[in-house]
Amino acid sequence: MKKIKVGIIGATGYAGVELVRLIATHPQAELAALSSVSYEGKKISEVYPNLKNICDYELENEDIVNKCDIIFTSLPHGLSEKFAKKCVEAGVKMIDLGADFRLDSADEYTRWYGKQYEEKALHDSAVYCIPELHRNNYKGQPIIGNPGCYPTSIALGLAPAMLDSLTVDNSIVIDSKSGVTGAGRGLADNTHYPNCNEAFAPYKVAAHRHTPEIEQTLSKLSGTKINVTFVPHLLPLNRGIVSTIYFNVKRKTIAQELHALYEQFYAKEKFVRVLKLGEVANLRNVKYSNYCDISVHYDDHTDRAVIVSTIDNMVKGAAGQAIQNMNLMFGLDEDCGLNFIPPAF
C-alpha cells in the first residue's frame, strides 16, 4: 500500500510536534510537509532537538495542501476554516485538532469562542469523532473535528452510563485535572514555571470553553439535553488528564452492576481499559500512549457513582486520537501506528 502523505499546519505547537513524533513511526503514513508561521525556514529539529536525525524537515509558511493526502491543522480557534476550504477543493482530507469543527451550533461557537463560522457549508462536510463512540458516524466526510482533551476523557468516562439512561439529569459534576501542555505553547502567567510549580488550583471555574462540547456529546448520547458542572484544574505536570466524574443514579444499583456495564460496553475497544473493581485509574499508566483507563466506583452511602477516567492529553486527547481518526478515514486498523506501551514510571 502506498503510504499516506501527511502535512501538518501548526507543526511547532505541542499537539503539532506530537503529531510529528507519532507519524514519524507510522507504518502506513509519512510526513510530506510541515508548516509553521513562527519558525519558517528552520528545521523542526532545531526547534525540537529530540527530532535530530529523525525528522529534519524544513518548516514552510506556504500552502502545503497540494503536497499531501491529508492535512492536520493544529491551530488556535478561528484559523482552520480557510485551510479546510482549500482541502475540500483539492480533494484532500483534513483533521482539525482545534475547536473550529467541534460544535454543531454556530451560536454556541460565537458565544464561547467569540468568532463566527465564515464557511458554514464546510461544517456540513465535517463530522466530530471520538472513534470509540462515533466511528459509525463517519461516512466518508472530508473533515473530522478532533475532540478536545477534557471532552474525550469525560465522554469515554460517561458514555456507558449515558446510553444506559443511568444518570439523573443535570446531576453530573466533573472535576478534571490537566498537565500544563493542555494550555498550549503560548506564554501565559498561570503556566509560567514559578506560578505552576508546586501549585494546584482550579481555573475558568464553570466557564471553560470545553463545556459546550462536553454537553453536546453527552446530550447526543443520552437523547436529552444535559447540563454539567465542569471544573478544570492545572496540575504541575507536563502531560496527562484525570477526570473524576460524579453523578446520581436513577435506579438502585451496586458497584458490581455498574462495573459490569462498563466492562461490557468497552469489551472490544483496544484503547479503553476498564480496571478491576477496587483499582483506581492513574495517569502514570497512560502517559505517552493512546489508552484511556477507567475505574468505576459506587458510593452506597449517597447512591452516587464515581468514575475516574485518565488519558494522556497530548496523545489520546490530541495527536493520538487524530491519528486514530486518520486510520479510520483511510480504512486502516485504528491502532495502526499507535501501539505504544506506557512506561512503568
Does any domain span residue 344?
Answer: no
Alpha-carbon distance of 281 to 276, in angstroms, equals 10
Reported as a single tens digit per residue, the pLDDT across 233-291 is: 999 999 999 999 999 998 888 899 999 999 999 999 999 999 999 999 999 999 999 99
Reported as a single tens digit per residue, the pLDDT across 113-172 is: 999 999 889 999 999 999 999 999 999 999 999 999 999 999 999 999 999 999 988 899
Residue 117 grid cell: 463560522
**Nearest CA to 161 among 251, 74, 40?**
251
**Phi/psi zone of residue 261: left (φ > 0), alpha (ψ -120 to 50 degrees), beta?**
alpha
Does residue 169 sit in the same domain as residue 180? Answer: yes
Does residue 210 sit in the same domain as residue 269? Answer: yes
Does residue 278 sit in the same domain as residue 165? Answer: yes
Does residue 66 sit in the same domain as residue 52? Answer: yes
Adjacency order of strands within the sheet including 70-73: 29-35, 4-9, 70-73, 93-96, 143-145, 126-128
Does residue 219 sit in the same domain as residue 271? Answer: yes
Any idea what the CATH number is for the domain that residue 160 is in? 3.30.360.10
Query: Which range is most confident: 150-159, 199-208, 298-307?
Result: 150-159
Does residue 258 sit in the same domain as residue 142? Answer: no
Where residue 186 falls among pLDDT bands split at 50, 70, 90?
A: confident
Does any domain span residue 40?
Answer: yes
- pLDDT higher than 70, residue 92: yes
Q: Tally Cβ neighbours within 10 Å of residue 64.
A: 20
Where residue 80 falls among pLDDT bands split at 50, 70, 90?
A: very high
Reported as a single tens digit per residue, the pLDDT across 314-325 is: 999 999 999 999
Does residue 132 sit in the same domain as residue 157? Answer: no
SS3 content of the chain, % helix, strand, coil (to 5): 35, 20, 45
Alpha-carbon distance of 201 to 84, in angstroms, equals 37
Does residue 165 sit in the same domain as residue 105? Answer: no
Tell me what pLDDT residue 254 has. Answer: 86
Alpha-carbon distance of 79 to 115, in angstroms, equals 10
Does any domain span residue 341?
Answer: no
Does any domain span residue 340?
Answer: no
Q: Which of 55, 87, 129, 149 is catalytic?
A: 149
Alpha-carbon distance of 127 to 138, in angstroms, equals 7
**Spatial CB neighbours of 174, under 8 Å, sequence gap ≥ 6:** 154, 214, 228, 229, 230, 231, 243, 244, 245, 246
Tell me what pLDDT residue 209 has. Answer: 94
CB contact at 8 A, 126 and 145: yes
Known active-site residue 68: no
Task: Report how many domains make up the chain.
Answer: 2
- Stretch 29-42: mean pLDDT, rounded? 95
Does any domain span residue 115?
Answer: yes
Does residue 102 sit in the same domain as residue 158? Answer: no
- Stretch 35-61: mean pLDDT, rounded? 95
Where residue 199 falls among pLDDT bands split at 50, 70, 90?
A: confident
Any idea what the CATH number is for the domain that residue 53 is in? 3.40.50.720
Residue 327 grid cell: 486510520
Where residue 190 falls among pLDDT bands split at 50, 70, 90?
A: confident
Does residue 125 sit in the same domain as residue 107? Answer: yes
Alpha-carbon distance of 88 to 34, in angstroms, equals 19
Where residue 187 falls among pLDDT bands split at 50, 70, 90?
A: low
Does any domain span residue 345?
Answer: no
Does residue 57 sit in the same domain as residue 205? Answer: no
Does any domain span residue 90?
Answer: yes
Does residue 128 sit in the same domain as residue 75? Answer: yes
Domain that holds residue 239: 150-313
Tell me what pLDDT residue 189 has. Answer: 75
Does any domain span residue 342?
Answer: no
**Spatial CB neighbours of 208, under 8 Å, sequence gap ≥ 6:** 150, 230, 232
Alpha-carbon distance of 130 to 29, in angstroms, equals 21
